[in-house]
Amino acid sequence: MSDSAVVDLSPNKDSKVTKKIIKEGAETETPANGDKVYLHYTGTLENGEVFDSSRERNEPFSFTLGRGQVIKGWDLCV
């Protein structure tokens, strides 16, 4: 997969989950359920308007993957 690829991870037709791969990591760097992850995100509406961004705060967001601590889309995408 190339950098900047957009992947559709929608679990069903009634929801939409996509992720944009800015820089693909090595297979050995892929997090597993139970790992603590740190990431930057930018949340946008369908019209492109930004509603939240960790980059604007210059502070990555962290959570434990697969524990339901975040919205389902994040557990799916990371």
Q: Fold for domain 5-77?
A: Chitinase A; domain 3 (3.10.50)
For the chain, the domains span 5-77
Whether the CB-CB separation of 22 and 3 falls below 8 Å is answered with yes
- pTM beyond 0.75: no
Percent of the chain surpassing pLDDT 70: 95
Query: How does residue 3 score in pLDDT terms, banded at 50, 70 and 90?
Result: low
Expressed in angstroms, the distance from the first to the final Cα of the chain is 15
pLDDT at site 53: 96
The amino acid at residue 36 is: K
Work out the average pLDDT over 59-66: 96
